[in-house]
Amino acid sequence: MGEIISKNCLDRVVRLRKNLHRYPELSGHESQTADRLEAFLSKQKPDSIIKGIGGHGLAAVYNSGKSGPTLMLRADLDALPVEEVNRFAHRSRHPGVAHTCGHDGHMAILSGLATIVRTRRPQKGRLVLLFQPEEETGQGAASVIADKAFREIEPDWVFALHNLPGYPAKSAVLREGVFASASKGMIVQLQGRSAHAAHPEQGNSPVHMMVELMKELTELPGDASGLSDFALLTIIHAKLGEVAFGTTPGKAVVMATLRTFLNSDMELLSNRAMEIVNKLAQKHGIKAQINHTEEFPATHNDAEANRLVEEAVRRSGVTPMRVGEAFRWSEDFGHFTGKYRGALFGLGSGEKHPSLHNHDYDFPDHIIPAGIMLFYHIADQLLTIGQDV
């Protein structure tokens, strides 16, 4: 590994990671993050840098000028609305915002690859290093794909990684087929009729519908016929009226997250959930409005793309960890794998490392070289970047 990425380059990448960690930005607000990346990437001599893709996204393009595939490797830009409790020097300077999912590390890994490609350029095709906004809300990948600027990229292959606490540091977590679940947020607004608390019969409180709705929605995955695989519906928020002891409430809201391994099951589960809402609304004489948010498709790994990852694991000398079941969490990289051949894989952060989204999480810098080399060996297989030019 030392012959490919120097200690000096690696030190610069780690400094970049810590700088990104100091100044995290929420989904849709990653402008300064993009500026810091552009400043770093411009020194790695890409043929072009495309800015403003899907919002604050940017892409560094290395073009061989020869025929061949376009390979896109992706990292995510955004942070989370979490108050960090760590006290080290590079802790977040932005109150209530922190890189507790490790996107700063993902950006550092992709930037580290750029320091290699600066001299080991593709011998065929194109390499695109995409830094994507708004992953946490599920909007970024779809916005990038819909952006006219993305037509300049239009990849043949797409790959991404996500660090995974709970797995040995530097291990590669692999799975063919579905890697991460589809998920969708469901918001149900209920409108009845308020009344004085002394005369609830003069109003129409949504309380009874609300109770029935939460029970039936929670039980739905076990009752829904036709589901082919794992499905889960979790009530994440509910509110009835306001704190007013003299008033029978007329409004309520119920929010739930739907999860499935298969996109077809998500459609079925979502439709069944809406049927339950409408049935109970009619029964209780309540007006119901349904909205959806943070919609993530399942991330499905192509068999040949997964084989390329397996070979990269072998060449890199990292330990493979093959999982039997897809992960229940979601990744909007599924928008890319639903359209292009590709794969998402995990990079172990350490078996005792703090979990993702925890307020004491910090990306482990010692796994950065393993991530760089995995991406390097994927690119070398498709584009031949194994020689200095």
Alpha-carbon gap, residue 77 to 58, rounded angstroms:
10
pLDDT of residue 222: 87
pLDDT of residue 1: 45
Q: What is the pLDDT along the chain (389 residues), one digit of tens a residue?
A: 446 888 999 999 999 999 999 999 999 999 999 999 999 999 999 999 999 999 999 999 999 999 999 999 999 999 999 999 999 999 999 999 999 999 999 999 999 999 999 999 999 999 999 999 999 999 999 999 999 999 989 999 999 999 999 999 999 999 999 999 999 999 999 999 999 999 999 999 999 999 999 999 999 998 777 899 999 999 999 999 999 999 999 999 999 999 999 999 999 999 999 999 999 999 999 999 999 999 999 999 999 999 999 999 999 999 999 999 999 999 999 999 999 999 999 999 999 999 999 999 999 999 999 999 999 999 999 999 977 65
Closest CA to 257 of 293, 229, 227, 287: 293
Over the Cα atoms of the chain, what is R_g? 23
Pick the CATH number of 182-296 from 1.10.3470.10, 1.10.10.10, 3.30.70.360, 1.10.3720.10: 3.30.70.360
Q: Strand 172-174 to strand 320-322: parallel, antiparallel, or no bridges (unpaired)?
A: parallel
pLDDT of residue 2: 46
Dihedral in degrees, nearest 10, Cα atoms 141, 134, 177, 351? 150
In the CATH hierarchy, which top-level class contains the domain 7-181+298-383?
alpha beta
pLDDT of residue 282: 98
- Give buried/exposed letters for 99-127 (b at 16+ CB in 10 A, else e): bbbbbbbbbbbbbbbbbbbbebbbeebbb
Residues of the chain with CATH 3.30.70.360: 182-296
Residues of the chain with CATH 3.40.630.10: 7-181+298-383
pTM for the complete prediction?
Answer: 0.93
Instruction: Count Cβ atoms below 10 Å from residue 251 Cβ, excluding itself.
Output: 18
**Residue carrying the six token digits 């001599």:** 45
Q: What is the pLDDT of residues 66-111, one digit of tens each?
A: 999 999 999 999 999 999 999 999 999 999 999 999 999 999 999 9
